[in-house]
Amino acid sequence: MLTRRKVLQILSTLPLSGLMVGQMMANDSGAEMPLTGTIAGDANPNDDSIYRSLGVEPVINCRGTFTIIGGSVKHEHVLKSMSRATSEFVQMDELAFGVGARLAELTGAEWGIITAGCAAALKHITAGCISGGNPEKLIRIPHLTGVDKNEVIMPRGSRTIYDHAIRNTGGEIVMVETLEELRSAIGPRTAMICIMSWQSDELRTENVANVAGPLGVPILVDAAAEDLTIPNVHLQAGADVVAYSGGKAMLGPQSSGIAIGRKDILMAAWQASSPHQGPGRDNKVDRDELIGGLAAVEAWIMRDHNAEWQRWLRWLNNIGERVSDISGVSTEIQEPEGLNNRTPRLAIRWDPDQLNITGEEVAEELGRTKPRIALGSRTTGEYTSINITSGQMQPGDYEVVRDRIYNVLSKRRNRRPQMERPAAEINGRWNVHVKFYLGESDHTFIVEKQDGNWVWGSHRGDFATRDMAGTIEGNQVKLVSVQRQPGNTVNYIFIGELNGDSMSGRLFMGQYLDASFTAKKHDYPDTRRPVLVPDGPPLAT
């Protein structure tokens, strides 16, 4: 149910992009000549940000290793290794075999591969388990008619947006909720079982392995955002392969994934990936990225993780001590013990009625104004908060973050003005036309209830109907709906201007960017005639 508070909490994402190129090019004689242009630094020689030269403002990352803001900053060892790798050519299979053997040596696993991100690892491993290394089966993907193994079992709690990588192979996901359902689901068409690293106790890796192991069904653990453990806890628990993101905790290339485990499965996965022709050709990984992924594992083993942790804590303590001077503000440093997204966090809490601002509004202000800061926010019960994740903060960031947060929270604000009276009642059915980037679609709003500024109803899209809620202030209408299904969530935020029996405006779709819409109140025919109910079945057809 979309409550008033939920409607106010929904925020859009921070889509950012960047471009990196070399600084030199060769003339016809082979001599190097300097490049000119904005990304070479000519636009503003006093500003060393390549992103600002493109009109894109960088972000201080207090959010974590999210792909939408670039993942992580590469470790120095990774950068040096990639730079060395890019100046020579190599046969890619030979390189992959060398990297595989080195990953085995470093991690204690039987083998390893580097892929174009963790999602690509999921895709290639699934393709390998479906094909078994048989190229005649491999090239049929995603049309698996006649292929004997085409099912992937997943617990409901492991379904996320990332299982698109598995579905892209054409494999059918069989969803289970209990160990008994898992046991019943395994059959001759089962290619593999995929579970997330945070899976519930009943379906944790060792329990799944006790069922699947004797039947020879491979188990893949998606540990994308986890710290790498050596020896590997998932392989020790009975998993056959575990996949990590190379561009998160390990500080490797953002476009790299690292999979370790059984050599036969990983060789079939490598066969299914680029540079080989087939369903994985679109997930190309370059020679420097292969080296970068390997270097990230090497760096992970060499890094002083305790020193990093203490440095992150010092930064958070410094920020917390400063903002605690503000009346009504409290802070708490949280030190998660699990492996997933393991980094200290600072929670800064206050009563939104005392400071007259919510955590979501603070996060939006800091994220959209310079210097930009990406951080988390939350409102529960009587308190609101912002959350600072320290793992990707860089030296000097904490001072900027500290001062900006203090200035925003210490600012005097008047109480929020009362909402403007609604210009009209909008109950009823609305025919909605949405224009996307390259297509159009007809949707329907049913506004069932209006209580002053607040409205509730339903929104029918192309394939599903979901609850809808929102507000109307004057002529401005804001409506929110969320479509949820296993493995997918689509958020719609409509904001439009009401003009009589029509409205128009923008549609925000979070990670899917935005669109425009128009809506017109449905005109029911003015039919007024008695309804005759027959006393029996029809006398003619």
pLDDT digits (tens, 9 = 90+) for 119-129: 999 999 999 99
**Which percentage of the chain shows pLDDT scores above 70?**
91
Supply 313's token pair.
């804590």
Summarize the confidence of residues 51-78 as an average pLDDT.
95
What pLDDT, on the 0 to 100 scale, is given for residue 15?
Answer: 34
| Count of residues making up the chain | 541
Provide the pLDDT confidence category of residue 24 given band limits of 50, 70 and 90: very low
Domain positions in the chain are: 76-302, 305-410, 428-521
What pLDDT, on the 0 to 100 scale, is given for residue 470?
Answer: 98
> Per-residue pLDDT for 200 more than 80?
no
Question: If one looks up domain 76-302 in CATH, what number appears?
Answer: 3.40.640.10
Sheet containing 172-176: order of strands: 111-115, 257-261, 241-245, 219-222, 190-196, 151-155, 172-176
> Per-residue pLDDT for 12 more than 70?
no
> How far apart are the C-alpha atoms of 62 and 52, rounded to whole Å?
20
What pLDDT, on the 0 to 100 scale, is given for residue 32?
Answer: 60
> How far apart are the C-alpha atoms of 134 and 124, rounded to whole Å?
14
Summarize the confidence of residues 350-377 as an average pLDDT.
97
- For the stretch 295-313, pLDDT in tens is 999 999 999 999 999 999 9
- For the stretch 310-338, pLDDT in tens is 999 999 999 999 999 999 999 999 999 88
Question: If one looks up domain 305-410 in CATH, what number appears?
Answer: 3.90.1150.180
- For the stretch 463-503, pLDDT in tens is 999 999 999 999 999 999 999 988 889 999 999 999 999 99
Question: If one looks up domain 428-521 in CATH, what number appears?
Answer: 2.40.128.120
Provide the pLDDT confidence category of residue 31 given band limits of 50, 70 and 90: low
CA 48 to chain centroid: 29
For residue 234, what are the CA distances in angstroms to 123, 203, 246? 19, 13, 17
What pLDDT, on the 0 to 100 scale, is given for residue 9?
Answer: 54
